[in-house]
Chain A
Amino acid sequence: MNQMSWPPQVPPPPPMPVPPPMPVAFSGSRGEFFDLAKRGAALELVTLGFYRFWLLTDIRRHLWSNTLIDGDAAEYTGRGKELLIGFLVALAILVPVYLGYFLIGLEAEHYQAFASIPLVAFFYLFGQFAIFRARRYRMTRTVWRGVRFWMTGSGWIYALQASLWGLLMILTLGMILPWRAAALERYKMRHSHYGDLQGSFEGRGWEFFKRGWWLWLLTPIAIYISPIAPFLYAGYKAIEWRWWLSGLRFGGVRLESSLPKSALIGLYWKVIGWMALLGLVFAVYLALCAGLVASMSGEGLTEFFKTPELMRSIPLLVLVGLGYLVMALAMNVVMRVYLTRDLWVTVLGSVNIIGIEAAANVAARGDLANALGEGFADGLDVGGF
């Protein structure tokens, strides 16, 4: 209104989309994400978990499209249907693999009891393959300024590297973790591209170790004094995020992060607080259910609790199962709001980009990858964003 009442003396500047001063910004509202997570959890309950593919897609679409880099928002072009198909294909491959695993395990056990345990290593390899391929899927669905990210490289070579490093991890009691992370990240980034800009990773294992060496010393203590474990984990994640972001390069574009070590502690404690609260609510609910069922059975309350009847009543079991499911989904919502959305925003707020001009005129390249890796990751329960 104000603008309109003062006729401008000079022709007003065209309403150009003014790039915000921050190199990286997040424009999504927390309420919107919360609604998305709530609705997704409800649909997951109704569909017995099948909705997970679409929920995951919706979450990524929200986060990507609200992430503005140099004033332009990214975009996630993956769809839930692709994840479902990836899952089904992975299933078709995993079922015979599981069967073969069973038969080989049987042969191994024939010679020596529990000789089949080393075969678990095979699934570790498979899991690493899944992680690589899932990353490739996500990258090729990430678009910024009309140009997509893409990836080359071989999932199996990556899996082999990751497994060998994993072996070293066991031998060195985890001390080698920073160098493992650096080596694997180098492989992943070397094969990542934005248009014709090739990615690279400049983080050094030594830098990671320098910032976080005390974590290794404190971890054994945390096993005995569990309240310090969330502090340690939050510290570790913060150090890892900062180190990882600061090592990312795409051509001449360099990332930098100033995430303090304590940045994530609050988030983890909030999650723990919610978990405790939900656990309490669940306990009260259990007590109410037991009381209700006991009063329905017509016996005295104390008598009902004395008999093993309590554990055998079918209505009670159904009520408990339902309550448990609702609680699990509520925890899911909590985790998604704090550990996905809030973490994303916190980490993003710490990022600075240097030399973004190099991304001003990048030629589009690269093809889409399929969602098989995501399917494997889902089937094998190995994480990813």
Chain B
Amino acid sequence: MTMDSDAPEISKTPPANAATYFDGASSRRRAVTLHFADRLEISDHEQTLAVWDYADIRRADSPSGMLRLGCPTVSALARLEVRDGALASELVSRCARLDENTPGRRGVAVIVGWSLAAAVSIVAVVLFGLPLIADRLAVLVPEAFERRLGDVADSQIKTMFDAKACDDPAGQRAFVKLVTAIRESAGLDTSVQSGVLSSPIPNAFALPGGRVYLFNGLLAKADNADEIAGVLAHELGHLKHRDSMRGLIRDGSTSFLIGLLFGDITGSSALIFGSRTLVTSSHSREAETNADGFAIDVMHRLGRPAKPTGELLLRVTGKEGKGLSIISTHPLSEDRLARMSREDRSASGPPLLTSEEWRSLKSICDGKSDPAKKSDPAKI
């Protein structure tokens, strides 16, 4: 061991092998000496405090400049602390399995590998699994539960938009006539509830449990009954396909899984929101396209043109530019109009409402002050 012959002659072993020992049973600090026999002997003067197998000794966390050892097989918390460099390297050379419990490169690779596997499976479930599950589950959800959900959404929406149901009798009669014609043609039963709400926002929506609402703002922008009929048929299409229930199951679980995936990276909420928007809006566009197809069919069955609805949409949203955004929830109004024009047939059936009825429908909300001055784009 000694290479330096000039080194002063110090008493043989004891001070050089000095270390500090905590026995794990009390916090007493003991100055100990180490003896390297076939096992490591830790002794305080003549009394042997512990005997550790070299193979069982493990490294414990320590501040820089100190080697700290433990022997989990003997005592979970007993610690041997060595500050002397030479003694520390002697110990390290004898304890072959010193770093066995430290993860090291290999452990990190395992963590990375499994994390990626988990990420891939979560993404796969979000993209392919959840739509399937939602499709299957949505039909299994009892009507009563769905109606209850609808009630909740109903009261929330009425509170949020401060909207009241319009009930001008003549207008209401015209509305019921229009809805009934579409509903029968769409093959939905009488459980469908519908109404006009007084809100300047040009929009219409379907709620779970068979409710369809039309905002007065959309009526104000419409030029004839066919335009509104197409919109209502579109919403009934959502009901028929149970899109809101499906959307609820799918979006709820998507948010949950994506949130799980990104976890705790500070500021990742924007990212979570972003990726969720991407995923859910692509499903939403698909549902909208299907509902449009449904509306076109219904209008054809009624012998009425589908094109006016597309024109109304474009009037409400304005030109949306080219190219489809992957974050839009709806297809472009231009494309929707183009499709409705392409599949359009000239009117073969009688008008859905007389011009008298159309006028009373337009004024169903009692001719309140011009409701559609400035408004958000429609989400129909």
From known contacts A4-B6, A15-B15, A61-B61, infer whether A361 and B320 are also in contact, taking CB-CB under 8 Å. Answer: no
Given contacts A47-B115, A145-B79, A146-B79, 9 further A-B contacts (CB under 8 A): A66-B64, A75-B68, A75-B79, A109-B156, A148-B77, A312-B324, A332-B265, A359-B27, A363-B26
Interface residues of A in 28-73 (CB under 8 A from B): 28-29, 32, 43-52, 54, 61, 64-66, 68, 72-73
Is B10 on the interface with A (CB-CB < 8 A)? yes
Q: Which residues of B contact A52 (CB under 8 A)?
A: 263-265
Interface residues of A in 72-91 (CB under 8 A from B): 72-73, 75-76, 80, 91
Whether B84 pairs with A312 at a CB distance below 8 angstroms is no
Is A281 on the interface with B (CB-CB < 8 A)? no
Q: Which one of B214-222, B267-275, B292-300, B337-345 contacts A?
A: B267-275
Is B226 on the interface with A (CB-CB < 8 A)? no
Shortest A154–chain B CB gap in Å is 26
Whether A43 pairs with B108 at a CB distance below 8 angstroms is yes
Whether A147 pairs with B24 at a CB distance below 8 angstroms is yes
Q: Which one of A228-236, A241-249, A323-331 contacts B?
A: A323-331
Is B165 on the interface with A (CB-CB < 8 A)? no
Whether B119 pairs with A64 at a CB distance below 8 angstroms is no
Is A8 on the interface with B (CB-CB < 8 A)? yes
Q: Which residues of A contact B320 (CB under 8 A)?
A: 308
Considering the chains assembled together, what is the distance between the CA atoms of A114 and B325 in angstroms? 33
Is A321 on the interface with B (CB-CB < 8 A)? yes
Q: Which residues of A contact B275 (CB under 8 A)?
A: 321
- Using CB atoms, name the residue of chain B closest to A67: B63
- Using CB atoms, name the residue of chain A closest to B328: A312
Chain A positions within 8 Å of B, measured between CB atoms, are 4, 7-8, 11-12, 14-17, 27-29, 32, 43-52, 54, 61, 64-66, 68, 72-73, 75-76, 80, 91, 98, 106, 109-110, 112-114, 143-148, 195, 307-309, 311-312, 314, 317, 321, 324-325, 327-329, 331-332, 335, 359-364, 378, 381
Q: Which residues of B contact A378 (CB under 8 A)?
A: 263-264
Whether A309 pairs with B322 at a CB distance below 8 angstroms is yes
Is B140 on the interface with A (CB-CB < 8 A)? no
8 A–B contact pairs at CB < 8 A?
A: A43-B108, A44-B265, A48-B261, A52-B264, A113-B156, A143-B77, A146-B23, A325-B268
Is B106 on the interface with A (CB-CB < 8 A)? no
Whether A50 pairs with B115 at a CB distance below 8 angstroms is yes
Looking at the complex, which one of B18, B61, B62 makes contact with A16 (CB distance below 8 Å)? B18
Q: Which residues of A contact B25 (CB under 8 A)?
A: 146, 363-364
From known contacts A4-B8, A15-B83, A378-B263, infer whether A361 and B27 are also in contact, taking CB-CB under 8 Å. Answer: yes
Binary A-proximity of B72-105 (CB < 8 A = 1, otherwise 0)? 0000011101011000000000000000000100
Binary A-proximity of B230-257 (CB < 8 A = 1, otherwise 0)? 0000000000000000000000000010
Counted as pairs of residues, one from A and one from B, with CB atoms less than 8 Å apart, the total is 195
Q: Which one of B37-45, B146-154, B357-365 contacts A?
A: B146-154
Looking at the complex, which one of A66, A308, A325 makes contact with B63 (CB distance below 8 Å)? A66
Considering the chains assembled together, what is the distance between the CA atoms of A28 and B266 in angstroms? 25
Q: Which residues of A contact B326 (CB under 8 A)?
A: 312, 314, 317
> What are the 9 closest A-B residue pairs judged by CB atoms, nearest first?
A146-B22, A47-B115, A65-B61, A50-B115, A14-B15, A109-B152, A113-B155, A49-B263, A145-B27
Considering the chains assembled together, what is the distance between the CA atoms of A68 and B68 in angstroms? 14
Whether A27 pairs with B65 at a CB distance below 8 angstroms is yes
Is B301 on the interface with A (CB-CB < 8 A)? no
Whether B118 pairs with A307 at a CB distance below 8 angstroms is no
Is B132 on the interface with A (CB-CB < 8 A)? no
- Using CB atoms, name the residue of chain B closest to A197: B27
Considering the chains assembled together, what is the distance between the CA atoms of A327 and B266 in angstroms? 10
Is B28 on the interface with A (CB-CB < 8 A)? yes
Q: Which residues of B contact A29 (CB under 8 A)?
A: 64
Number of interface residues of B (CB under 8 A): 72
Whether B325 pairs with A312 at a CB distance below 8 angstroms is yes
Is B127 on the interface with A (CB-CB < 8 A)? no
Considering the chains assembled together, what is the distance between the CA atoms of A52 and B159 in angstroms? 41
Considering the chains assembled together, what is the distance between the CA atoms of A4 and B5 in angstroms? 11
Considering the chains assembled together, what is the distance between the CA atoms of A66 and B14 in angstroms? 28
Considering the chains assembled together, what is the distance between the CA atoms of A145 and B156 in angstroms? 60
Whether A64 pairs with B61 at a CB distance below 8 angstroms is yes
Considering the chains assembled together, what is the distance between the CA atoms of A64 and B60 in angstroms? 12
Is B192 on the interface with A (CB-CB < 8 A)? no
Shortest B106–chain A CB gap in Å is 13
Q: Which residues of A contact B265 (CB under 8 A)?
A: 44-45, 49, 52, 325, 328-329, 332
From known contacts A27-B64, A54-B111, A325-B265, infer whether A113 and B159 are also in contact, taking CB-CB under 8 Å. Answer: yes
Q: Which residues of A contact B268 (CB under 8 A)?
A: 49, 325, 328
Is B142 on the interface with A (CB-CB < 8 A)? no
Q: Which residues of B contact A44 (CB under 8 A)?
A: 265
Whether B24 pairs with A364 at a CB distance below 8 angstroms is yes
Shortest A152–chain B CB gap in Å is 19
Interface residues of B in 299-339 (CB under 8 A from A): 320-327
Is B2 on the interface with A (CB-CB < 8 A)? no
Is B36 on the interface with A (CB-CB < 8 A)? no
Q: Which residues of B contact A113 (CB under 8 A)?
A: 152, 155-156, 158-159
Is B370 on the interface with A (CB-CB < 8 A)? no
Whether B323 pairs with A91 at a CB distance below 8 angstroms is no
- Using CB atoms, name the residue of chain B closest to A308: B321
Whether B81 pairs with A17 at a CB distance below 8 angstroms is yes
- Using CB atoms, name the residue of chain B closest to A3: B8
Binary A-proximity of B165-209 (CB < 8 A = 1, otherwise 0)? 000000000000000000000000000000000000000000000
Q: Which residues of B contact A308 (CB under 8 A)?
A: 320-321, 323, 325
Is B141 on the interface with A (CB-CB < 8 A)? no
Q: Which residues of A contact B266 (CB under 8 A)?
A: 328, 331-332, 335
From known contacts A17-B83, A61-B61, infer whether A73 and B66 are also in contact, taking CB-CB under 8 Å. Answer: yes
Considering the chains assembled together, what is the distance between the CA atoms of A291 and B162 in angstroms? 44
Whether B27 pairs with A195 at a CB distance below 8 angstroms is yes
Whether A106 pairs with B148 at a CB distance below 8 angstroms is yes
Q: Which residues of A contact B322 (CB under 8 A)?
A: 307, 309
- Using CB atoms, name the residue of chain A closest to B118: A50
From known contacts A8-B8, A110-B148, A308-B320, infer whether A68 and B115 are also in contact, taking CB-CB under 8 Å. Answer: no
Considering the chains assembled together, what is the distance between the CA atoms of A363 and B77 in angstroms? 12
Whether B271 pairs with A324 at a CB distance below 8 angstroms is yes
